[in-house]
């Protein structure tokens, strides 16, 4: 694309090194709590599976808001529902999984500065299988996690068709999902 500049920011040095070595991508060193960008310098700001990694998610949100220009878009995706909490969340360094009301509390102090364009759970069809698997794993005290293994291309494609694609319907807004997806416009 012409005229589009993408800037990636990564806190962990090892992740920046892997991005550079494996994909030839240079990421800026930085934290969501103190983004290394000027005020209102981004047309679109993305925080995909980031806010759950910091204790002060309101500060993280304020940084996204600070760097996004007026009329710009902020896209946030976070894991949903503490009932899905597992040792996987612990190993990834999560502080929480969100409900809509929890995310609304993060956004509320800045409510006059944004319009909510989309605010809904995603991956609804994955919720029940994930919940059942995580409860069974805990009950049976299993030490192996499905999350530690990359599924085959065939299994991955099947999961995509069963769990993700149905949720792409614009009319489908279930009261649950394994993720919460928000799209906001800065006023």
pLDDT in tens, 125-145: 888 888 888 888 888 887 766
Domains and CATH numbers, the chain: 31-186 (3.40.50)
Q: What is the 3-state secondary structure (H, E, C) of 18-61?
A: HHHHHHCCCCEECECCECCCCCCCEEEEEEECCHHHCCCHHHHH
Contacts of 162 (CB under 8 A, 6+ apart): 125
Q: Is 164 left (phi over 0), alpha (psi -120 to 50) or beta?
A: alpha
Q: Residue 10's beta-bridge partner residues?
A: 29
Q: Residue 47's beta-bridge partner residues?
A: 76
Res 1: pLDDT: 57
Res 4: pLDDT: 80
Report whether pLDDT(121) > 60.
Answer: yes
Complete DSSP assignment for the chain: -TT-----EES-HHHHHHHHHHH----EE-BTTB-SS-TT-EEEEEEES-GGGSS-HHHHHHHHHHHEEEEEEEEEEEEB-GGG--HHHHHHT-S--B-HHHHHHHHGGGGGGEEEEEEEEE-HHHHHHHHHHHHHHHHHT----GGGSPPPHHHHHHHIIIIIGGGG-TT---S--SEEEEEEEE-
Report whether pLDDT(155) > 90.
Answer: no
Average pLDDT value for the chain: 90
Mean pLDDT, residues 108-119 taken together: 96
Res 84: pLDDT: 94
Lowest mean pLDDT, pick from 33-37, 49-53, 123-127: 123-127
Please give the share of the chain, as a percent, with pLDDT higher than 90.
Answer: 65
Res 173: pLDDT: 73
State pLDDT tens for residues 57-101: 999 999 999 999 999 999 999 999 999 998 889 999 999 999 999
Cα 100 from Cα 121, distance rounded (Å): 8
pTM (two decimals): 0.86
Contacts 24+ apart (CB under 8 A), 87-96: 87/145, 88/145, 88/147, 89/52, 92/53, 93/53, 94/52, 94/53, 95/52, 95/53, 95/54, 95/55, 95/57, 96/52, 96/57
Name the band, by pLDDT with cuts 50, 70 and 90, for residue 33: very high
Res 159: pLDDT: 74
């Amino acid at each position: 694309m012409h005229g589009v500049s993408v800037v990636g920011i990564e806190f962990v040095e090892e992740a920046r090194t892997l991005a550079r070595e494996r994909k030839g991508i240079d990421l800026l060193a930085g934290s969501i709590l103190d983004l290394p960008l000027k005020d209102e310098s981004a047309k679109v700001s993305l925080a995909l599976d980031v806010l759950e990694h910091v204790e002060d998610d309101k500060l993280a949100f304020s940084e996204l808001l600070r760097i996004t220009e007026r009329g710009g878009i902020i896209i946030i995706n976070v894991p949903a529902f503490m009932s899905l909490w597992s040792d996987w969340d612990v190993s990834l360094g999560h502080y929480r999984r969100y409900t809509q009301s929890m995310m609304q509390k993060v956004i509320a102090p800045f409510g006059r500065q944004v319009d909510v364009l989309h605010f809904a759970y995603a991956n609804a069809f994955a919720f029940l299988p994930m919940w059942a698997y995580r409860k069974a794993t805990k009950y049976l005290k299993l030490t192996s996690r499905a999350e530690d293994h990359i599924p085959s291309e065939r299994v991955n494609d099947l999961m995509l068709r069963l769990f993700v694609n149905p949720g792409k319907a614009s009319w489908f807004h279930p009261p649950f999902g394994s993720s919460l997806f928000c799209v906001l416009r800065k006023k």
